[in-house]
Structure 1
Amino acid sequence: MVALKLEALGAHYGRNRIFTDITTGDIVGGMLTAVIGPNAAGKSTLFKRIAGLLKGDGVVHVSGEESLRPICYMPQDTGANAVLTVYESVLLASKQGSGWKVADQELVDIDRILSSLRITDLAFRDLGELSGGQRQLVAIAQALVRKPQILLMDEPTSALDLFRQIEVLQHMHQLARQTDMAVLIALHDLNHAMRYCDHSLVVADGRLVANGPTADVITPALLRQVYRVDARIENCTQGRPLVIVDAALA
């Protein structure tokens, strides 16, 4: 089983240090891990640093990997190339780092992924014709077809309506377990993190503030410290914890 471990990780843009000394235990396959924190906390930069797109201090340890492409990063801004259809873009993603010969199984995998995300009807639409939410779903398909063992998803639900948000989070939660993939997902909705994510990392003020099981990490004290809100954690009628915010703190 794959495991991701960060050791004294740091990153900066020029002289502007974004974060420093981020250290975690093993983030293992089969788990959905939320990466949470306020705006400009460095979540996107952390993903780029883990994916090797930025240089910096520290070491990213990946153990147990068997894939040639163990880490895949899905950015917030996926862009759109109007020249390609959805199907072509997903096929192109599947061929990154490999030869150009297309096997029958690769086509089967693409069909399965499009179906699982319920975007088969978009297969032969040009990317440039799609809405932001549709492009976000295509970007998820492009990431999944690469079969990574570690998937970094930077706010993959930000452009989706509520139904699609829940559908994607349910799908990723199940997929992580079924494939032993380690999925790290940047989220702003803390109730979604509490409902679907086994583990949470909290990034704020250029450092790792908390790291552990989501139910232990998201507390009224942390919400006051990191988000500057007066909030409660209460269980709904089905026994699931919910964040209820009473006031923003001055």
Structure 2
Amino acid sequence: MVTLRLEGLGARYGKREIISNISTGAFYGGQVVAVIGPNAAGKSTLFKRMAGLIAGPGEVVLEGSTKGRQGICYMPQNINANARLTVYESILLASKQSTPGWAVHDAELSLVDDILHSLGITELAFSNLGELSGGQQQLVSIAQTLVREPEVLLMDEPTSALDMRRQIQVLDFMRSVAKKKQAIVFIAIHDLNQAMRFADQVLVIADGTAQGSGPCEEIITVDMLRDVYNVKARIEKCSQQASHVIVDAIV
């Protein structure tokens, strides 16, 4: 089983320190990890540092992997779409990033078909990327990431352009992917109620540092909401599996 932990991770842009000394316990294959925190807390920078796209101190400790760092895939929040490609072509091209050579095999075509079907976008397969809405482009970006069959998936606000139904569908699907593939799925998300519904673990980032990590019910507390988000809130348990955050006032 793949495991991942962070040891003293940091990153700078020029002289400005964005994240510093972020350390966590181990996250395990099969888990969804919600990465939460205010705007500009450093979540996107953390993902880029974990993916090796930017340098900095500290270490991403990955164990039990069959792909090494190649098994860590990052899906950015902002999507750069080549409007000349069709949806199918763009996903197939993404799959070749993790397979040698340019010959296309039946198994790769089948995987693309399965992912399109699972995300409910089969009808878009031969549409040009430039014709898609923001939400549709976001779903295609998820497909481009999944087709690489990552062991660790870093998703930066993957549902921000989706309506409520699609958000629930995608988050539920990503939870099933984590379980089925025994992958670790990190999702940066602002909706704490969705985080508590779909995530196994949560990592809180604020002011470029880790404010806590662990099971949702242990980390998402009224004290954390006050200290990190500056709100007065209640957490009400709706069922044995779900709780909800209710904000009463801004502190």
TM-score in terms of structure 2 length: 0.97
- SS in structure 2 at match of 1:225: helix
Distance 1:8 1:240 in 2: 32
Residue 151 of structure 1: CA displacement? 0.2
Report the equivalent of 2:76.
75
Cα distance change on mapping 1:239 and 1:44 into 2, 3 Å: closer
Match status 1:31 vs 2:57: no
Partner SS, residue 5 of structure 2 = strand
Match of 2:57 in 1: 57
**Alpha carbons of structure 1 residues 84 and 224: separation in structure 2 relative to 1, 3 Å:** same
Which residue does the alignment assign to 1:118? 120
Q: Which runs of 4+ in 1 moved over 4 A?
A: none
The RMSD of aligned alpha carbons is: 1.0
Distance across 2 between alignment mates of 1:225 and 1:156: 26
* Structure 2, gaps ≥5 residues long: none
SS of residue in 1 equivalent to 2:160: coil
Write out per-residue CA displacement over residues 172-224 of structure 1, whole angstroms, 9 at most, x where no aligned residue: 11110111000000000000000000000000012100110011110000000
Report what 1:90 is aligned to: 91
Equivalent positions of 1:1-250 (< 5 A) are 1-67=1-67, 69-97=70-98, 98-236=100-238, 240-249=242-251
| Aligned equivalents of 1:237, 1:203: Cα separation in 2 | 27
Instruction: Give the alignment's TM-score, normalised by structure 1.
Output: 0.98
Amino acid at match of 1:92: L
Query: Do the aligned residues in 1 keep the contact of 2:3 with 2:62 (CA within 8 Å)?
Result: yes
1:94-150 Cα deviation digits (max 9, x unpaired): 001421011100000000000000000000000000000000000000000000100
Gap regions ≥5 residues in structure 1: none
Pick closer, same or farther for the CA change 1:26–1:112 going to 2, 3 Å: same
CA distance in 2, matches of 1:195, 1:113: 23
**Residues 197, 241 of structure 2: 8 Å contact kept:** no
